[in-house]
Amino acid sequence: MKPIIEMSGVSCRYGSVLAVNELNLQVPEASVYAFLGSNGAGKTTTIKTLLNIIEPSAGSIQVLDVPSTKIGPRELAQIGYVSENQKLPESLTVKDLIAYSRAIYPTWDDAFCRALLDMLDLPLDRKIGQFSRGMKIKAALLVSLAYHPRLLVFDEPFSGLDPVVRDEFITALQEILKQKNCTVFISSHDIDEVERLATWVGFIQKGKLCLSESLETVRTRFRRIQVNFPKGTLSPNFSLSEKDILSEISEDSARWVDTAYVDAETVASQIVARFPRDTVHTTSPLSLREIFITTTHLTHKAQGVAR
Amino acid sequence: MNVILAQLRKDVLTQRFLLLAWALCSAFNFIIPFFHINPVGSASLVGQAVLGIGLLGGIYAAAGVQFLLLAILAARIIQEDPLVGTEVFWRTRPVSRARLLAEKLLLIATLYIVTIFTCGPLSLQSHDYAFPFFSLIFILSFVAFASVTVGFVELILTFLGVGIVAEFFSILMYFLRNFRLSKIVHETQLQNGTVHSYNYNLSSDAASVPSAGVDWVSLVLIACLVAIIVHQYLTTRTKRSLLFLFLALLLTSLLKQFLPVN
C-alpha cells in the first residue's frame, strides 16, 4: 500500500540551527502514527513542513500523493489539523465556527457534526475566546473531523490539558477512529497517552529520526531480560558487556534491554552460552516509554562514539 | 464563491459592532446636509457665529470619526485572518490566498466607496477630489501595514517606524544632493572669477524644489501599495513585504523631492 505521507531526506534549518536533519519517514494509510520526541526535537517543524506552512531546506515530502510545497485548498479539504498553538477565530462562537467550516468544506457532514458535538460536550453559543485550553482543543477537533478527513494531523494535542480532559479526548478519538478509516499523524511528548492510540511509532531526537516502525514490531523487538543467579554465586567483580543496554546488577540478578529479541528459544540459548547452567532467566515486554528511553540512550551513545 | 461568501459573513460577524458604529456615522453624515441647519435661531450675532462654528466643527468631527472608523475596520478585517505567523487558522484550511485577498479587498473597497460618498464635507459630494484620493492612499497603506503585522498596536508602531526611517533617508539624500549641487555651483562661480555672495541656506533651496508632480507620485505609491498587498497575500513573506513597503515609501518620498514640475 502506498504511504499517505512520505518524507525523503527532509532537512529544515532556522539560521544556524538545524531543526530537522535528513528525515526519512513513511506513514502507512489507515495507521495511527505516533511521532514522539522530547521538547525541541523537531516534531512541530516536521508537521509544519508536511502541511506546507514552512518550506523544507532540503528533501521532499509527498502528502496524499502531492508534493508538500504544492499543497493547496484541494488537499487541505482532506486534512484535519489540531495543534496546541493553533489560533482559532476567537471572536466566533462554536455555532459560527461550524457555519464557517460547513461553507468551506465540500464534504462537511452535519449529522456527524451533531454527533461530535454531543460527544465533545461543547456549548454552541459561547465565544471560542472564552474557552479553556481543553475546550479550544475540542472545538478544533470538532471542525477538523466533521468533514471526514483522510489524514488527521495532531501537534501536541494533550499539552496543557488536565487528566480528565485528556482521557475524554483520547476516548473520543478512539471512538471516532473505530467508525472512520482515517490516518492519524500525532506528535507528542506524552508517550503514555499516545500509546493507547498508536499503531506505528517514530522517535525523533535533535532533528534526527532514530526509529520508525509498527508498534507491534517495536514491542516484540524490545525486551527486558533478567537473569537470576543462585544465591551467593555472583562474584562482586561481575559485570555485563557494553552491548547490554541499560544494564543493572543487583545482589543476585542482572538486567538489561535486548533490542533485537526474536523468540524465547534464541534468548535461552544465548543465556546458556553466556552464564552458568543453573541461572534462571525471564523476559518481559517494555512499555513505549521504556522503549523511548532505551532508544534515546542508544542515540546518545552513538553520538558519543561518533564524537 | 462559497469560500468568499463564508469569509465575508465571518468578517461582518466579527466586526459587527465597529461596522454598526461606522454605519451610524455614515448615515448621520449622509443625512445632515439635507437638513440645511443654520445658526439664525440665535438671538445675537455672536451667538450665531459661535453656533455656526460649533455646527461646522461637529460636521467635520463626524466626518473624521467616520474616516477613522474606516481605517480601524480595514486593519481589523485584514488582521482577523493574519498573514504573519505559522499557527494561523486559515492556513491549514481549504482557503486559497487569492480568494482571501479578493474577499478582504471587496469588503474594504465597499466600505471605502460608501465612506467617500457620505463623509460629510470631505466627501465627493463637495467636489473636492483631494480627499478621496489621499484617503485611498492612507487606507491602502493601512491595509499594507496590517498585512505584515499582528494587532493594532504593532501596526501603528510599524507604520510610524517604517515611515520615519524612510523619511529620514529621503531627507538625508535631499541634503546630500543639495550640498553637492551648491558645491558645484560655488566652484563654477570661482573659476569664472565671479565671486558673488551665494545663498547656502538649504531651507530657501528647499522652497525652490519642485513640489508638483504629487498626483503622479501618488499614483506610483498606490501601485506600489497594491503590489505589496498582493505579494504579501500570495507569498506570506513578511520580511520581504516590509522591505518593499520601506522602499516604496522611500521611493515616493524621493520622487516628490527630485521630480521636475511637469
For residue B237, is pLDDT > 50?
Answer: yes
**DSSP letter for each residue of A263-287:** -HHHHHHHHHHHS-TT-EEEEEEPP
Query: What pLDDT, on the 0 to 100 scale, is given for residue A153?
Result: 95
Q: What are phi and psi of A287, to 5 degrees?
A: -75, 165
CA distances to B25, B108, B115, B145, B239 from B66, in Å: 6, 14, 7, 20, 32
Binary contact (B13, A96; C-beta < 8 A): yes
Q: Where residue B204 falls among pLDDT bands split at 50, 70, 90? A: very low
Cβ-based contacts of A51 with chain B (< 8 Å): 92
Is residue B121 a contact partner of residue B215, using CB atoms and an 8 Å limit?
no
A103 touches chain B (CB under 8 A): yes
A119-128, A273-282, B233-242: least confidently modelled range: A273-282
Check pLDDT > 50 for residue A233.
yes
Mean pLDDT score, A248-270:
83
Question: What average pLDDT does the structure give for chain B?
Answer: 81
Contact A186, A33 (CB under 8 A): yes
Q: What is the dihedral of CA A204, A205, A209, A210, to 10 degrees?
A: -100
Task: Considering only the beta carbons, identify the residue of A48, A83, A92 that sits closest to B14.
Answer: A92
Mean per-residue pLDDT, B44-58? 73
More confident residue, B216 or A142: A142
Give the per-residue pLDDT at A155.
92
pLDDT of res. B211: 44
Whole-angstrom distance, CA of residue A85 vs CA of residue B84: 14
Rg of chain A's alpha carbons, rounded to an integer? 23
Which residue of chain A is at minimal alpha-carbon distance from B7? A100
Residue with more model confidence, B2 or B41: B2
Which pLDDT score is estimated for B16?
94
How far apart are alpha carbons A15 and A253 in whole angstroms?
50
| Top-confidence residue, B175 or A85 | A85
Residue A91 in contact with partner chain B when CB distance is under 8 A:
yes
Q: Which amino acid is at A219?
A: R
Of A76, A92, A103, the CB nearest to B92: A76
Torsion sign over Cα A244, A245, A248, A252: negative
Contact call for B10 and A100, based on CB within 8 A: yes
C-alpha cell belonging to residue B235: 507569498
- CA of B67 vs chain A CAs: smallest distance (Å): 24
pLDDT over threshold 70, residue A281 = yes
Backbone angles phi, psi at A32, to 5 degrees: -110, 100
pLDDT at A273: 80
Taking residues A251-269, what's their average pLDDT? Answer: 84
What is the Cα–Cα distance from B95 to B83, expressed in whole angstroms?
13
Checking B32-37 for CB contacts under 8 A at 24+ apart, the result is: B32/B59, B32/B62, B32/B120, B33/B120, B33/B125
Q: pLDDT over 70 for what percent of chain A?
A: 98
pLDDT of residue A159: 76
- Give the chain B residue whose CA is nearest to the CA of A83: B87
Average pLDDT over residues B41-64: 73
Q: Per-residue pLDDT averaged across A197-215, rounded?
A: 92
Question: Is A116 exposed, middle or buried (CB count within 10 Å of its CB: 0-12, 13-18, 19+)?
Answer: buried
Query: Which three three-digit cell numbers place residue B179?
Result: 550640498
Sheet holding A223-228, edge to edge: A245-249, A253-258, A223-228, A280-285
Residue B213: predicted pLDDT: 42
Q: To the nearest 10°, report the CA torsion of A265, A268, A269, A275.
A: 180
Backbone torsion region of residue B8, taken as left when φ is above 0, otherwise alpha when ψ lies between -120 and 50, otherwise beta = alpha
Mean pLDDT of B24-36: 81
**pLDDT > 70: percent of chain B:** 75
Residues B58-83 pLDDT 10s = 778 888 899 999 999 999 999 999 99
If you compute the radius of gyration of chain B from its CA atoms, what whole number of angstroms results? 24
Residue B101 pLDDT = 96
Interval A151-203: pLDDT, tens: 999 998 887 677 887 887 788 788 778 777 789 999 988 888 888 889 999 99
Q: For residue B66, which of B119, B129, B5 has the smallest C-alpha distance? A: B119
- Least CA distance to B8: which residue of chain A? A100
Interfacial B residues in 89-128 facing A (CB < 8 Å):
89, 91-96
Residue B34, C-alpha cell as written in the block: 439635507
Which residue has cell 552491548? A243
Residues A44 and A156 sit within 8 Å (Cβ to Cβ): yes
| Residues A103, B93: C-beta atoms closer than 8 Å | no
Q: What is the pLDDT of residue B117?
A: 86
Instruction: Return the pLDDT at B202.
Output: 42
The mean-pLDDT minimum among B90-94, B160-164, B210-214 falls in B210-214
pLDDT tens across B146-202, in order? 999 998 999 999 989 988 888 788 787 777 777 666 666 666 665 555 544 444 444
Cell of B12: 461582518
What is the rounded average pLDDT of the residues A9-32?
92
Judged against a pLDDT cut of 70, whether residue B1 lies above it is answered with no
Tell me the nearest-neighbour CA distance from B16 into chain A, angstroms: 11
pLDDT at B14: 93
Percent of chain B with pLDDT over 90: 42
**CB of A48 within 8 Å of any CB in chain B?**
yes
- What angle, rounded to 10 degrees, do the helices at A110-120 and A94-104 form? 150
Q: Which of B14, B93, B101 to mutate to test the interface with A (most CBs of A within 10 A)?
A: B93
3-state helix, strand, coil in chain B (%, to 5): 80, 0, 20
- B223-230, long-range: CB < 8 A, 24+ apart: B224/B248, B224/B251, B224/B252, B225/B137, B225/B140, B225/B141, B225/B143, B225/B144, B226/B140, B228/B144, B229/B101, B229/B105, B229/B140, B229/B143, B229/B144, B229/B147, B230/B101
Q: Which residue has the higher pLDDT, A264 or B19?
A: B19
Q: In this complex, is the C-beta atom of A250 within 8 Å of any C-beta atom belonging to chain B?
A: no
Q: How far apart are CA B74 and CA A164, in angstroms?
A: 42
Element spanning B240, H or E: helix B238-258
Query: Complex ipTM above 0.85?
Result: no
Q: What is the model's pLDDT at position B218?
A: 85
Contact B213, B259 (CB under 8 A): yes
Phi-psi region of A83 (alpha: psi -120 to 50; beta: other; left: phi over 0): beta
Distance between first and last Cα of chain A: 39
CA distance A279 to A296: 30
Average pLDDT score over residue span A38-53: 91
φ, ψ of residue B129 to 5 degrees: the values are -85, -5
Task: Give helix B97-118 / helix B2-14 axis angle, nearest 10°.
Answer: 50
Put simply, whether the predicted model's pTM sits higher than 0.90 gets the answer no
pLDDT of residue B189: 60
Query: Which residue, A220, A157, A211, A145, is CA-closest to A186?
Result: A157
More confident residue, A88 or B173: A88
- State the pLDDT at residue B40: 56
Percent of chain A with pLDDT over 90: 46
